Amino acid sequence: MMPLDRNYIKPEADKDIVKNSGIPFQLDLIKDARVNKSAVEKRCVTVTNRRTVKKHNQAAWLLKAITCMDLTTLSGDDTERRVIRLCNKAKTPLRHDLLKSLGIENIDLKVGGVCVYHQFIRTALDTLQGSNIPVVAVSTGFPAGHTPKKTKILEIKEALRNGAQEIDIVISRRHVLSGNWKKLYDEISEYKEASGVACLKTILATGELGTLKNVIRASLVCMMAGANFIKTSTGKETINATLPVTLVMSRAIREYFELTEFEVGYKPAGGISSAKACLSHMMLLKEELGSRWLNPSLFRVGASSLLSDIERQIEHFSTGKYSSFNRHGIA
């Protein structure tokens, strides 16, 4: 079997990424944002119908997806033992025999981050010690966000004190639904100040925003306020990451980049449980923003069960046979 291209799998360094520091509030830019829903849906259909990758290319794309994955456990029955198992899987996402069959056994393959609740930050840090995998903490009243602002800011600061390197915050959807864009901007700006140099990801909960127009406007406001990533969902909504949302948010990122030259990352999360779905989002992002965005500094995919399916697909590529899901447990 021909070995995979190691340069494609290896993540790019983020030292030259122009990180977003925010810009002054611009209401005209927000009001001018429009979305042609029918055109968006038609564009997304062409991605799934035209763009397919097979064999070596598919395996390489799936390995790239692993390096961009925020391996996540955000359940009410989370325990320290589950978090430890998740972190161990994050350090060794694929079995050694699979890596050897692909000719990449010497590559330090690992996920992009591990996302947990506050009380498990220390457990995750201890388990991930020496791996350089960042710990991501959800904050600001996740998932609904209906807690006082003062409490939300304290949550961010407490997560940072406990050692979290990245913060996933939820926006107040009521500001979007009522069109109070300045209030949303001020809120995110305060979260940005509280997070300091940590990577700030803003969760839009797109399934609760009503329209794609609200999605693009909320995306622009979050980036203006200094968000380093814009993220689709908490994973708790009825509708989570969809291709139309990925298209709209990636175009908002492109518009903001052309205006400011700041590079903002994108994170689809929720509902992406199959390798095929993950590849569709990645291909769409590449077409809209370029290959540069397909690295952990600018792209993450929030997932829990996705890694199991990716491992199954890579095993099928390596052996020609599919294994059952129970052979690929996460936590």
Is residue 211 situated within a structural domain?
Answer: yes
Q: How confident is the model at residue 16, as a pLDDT?
A: 81
Q: How confident is the model at residue 228, as a pLDDT?
A: 98
In terms of average pLDDT, the best of 8-12, 102-106, 274-278 is: 274-278
- For the cut 70, the answer to whether the pLDDT of residue 306 exceeds it is yes
Catalytic residue among 64, 89, 192, 231: 231
Is residue 206 situated within a structural domain?
Answer: yes
Euclidean distance between CA atoms 199 and 229, whole angstroms: 8
Q: How confident is the model at residue 261, as a pLDDT?
A: 95
Express each pLDDT in 211-228 by its tens digit: 999 999 999 999 999 999
Catalytic residue at 286? no
- How many CA atoms, within 13 angstroms, populate the side-chain half-sphere of residue 262? 21
Please state the rounded mean pLDDT for residues 83-98. 94
Is residue 85 situated within a structural domain?
Answer: yes
Express each pLDDT in 183-210 by its tens digit: 999 999 999 999 999 999 999 999 999 9
* CATH number of the domain residue 214 falls in: 3.20.20.70
Catalytic residue among 192, 201, 267, 309: 267
Express each pLDDT in 146-173 by its tens digit: 999 999 999 999 999 999 999 999 999 9
- For the cut 90, the answer to whether the pLDDT of residue 11 exceeds it is no
- For the cut 60, the answer to whether the pLDDT of residue 175 exceeds it is yes
Is residue 257 situated within a structural domain?
Answer: yes
Counting Cβ atoms within 10 Å, is residue 49 exposed (0-12), middle (13-18) or buried (19+)? exposed
Catalytic residue at 168? yes
Q: How confident is the model at residue 173, as a pLDDT?
A: 96
- Mean residue pLDDT of the chain comes to 91
As for how many domains the chain has, the answer is 1
- For the cut 70, the answer to whether the pLDDT of residue 3 exceeds it is no
Q: Which residue range is the domain that position 195 belongs to?
A: 54-327
Unique residue bearing structure tokens 């300091």: 196
Confidence category of residue 28, pLDDT binned at 50, 70, 90: very high
- For the cut 80, the answer to whether the pLDDT of residue 14 exceeds it is no
Is residue 70 situated within a structural domain?
Answer: yes
Catalytic residue among 168, 192, 201, 309: 168
Q: How confident is the model at residue 219, as a pLDDT?
A: 98
Please state the rounded mean pLDDT for residues 275-297. 94
Is residue 138 situated within a structural domain?
Answer: yes
Express each pLDDT in 246-267 by its tens digit: 999 999 999 999 999 999 999 9
Collapsed DSSP state (helix, strand, coil) of residue 299: strand
Is residue 9 situated within a structural domain?
Answer: no
CB of 21 closer than 8 Å to CB of 226: yes
Q: What is the value of pTM for the model shown?
A: 0.92
- For the cut 70, the answer to whether the pLDDT of residue 113 exceeds it is yes
Euclidean distance between CA atoms 222 and 83, whole angstroms: 30
Catalytic residue at 54? no
Counting Cβ atoms within 10 Å, is residue 213 exposed (0-12), middle (13-18) or buried (19+)? middle
Is residue 209 situated within a structural domain?
Answer: yes
- For the cut 60, the answer to whether the pLDDT of residue 328 exceeds it is no
- How many CA atoms, within 13 angstroms, populate the side-chain half-sphere of residue 323? 18
Please state the rounded mean pLDDT for residues 264-279. 93
Euclidean distance between CA atoms 147 and 151, whole angstroms: 7
Confidence category of residue 329, pLDDT binned at 50, 70, 90: low
- β-strand partners of 70: 113, 302
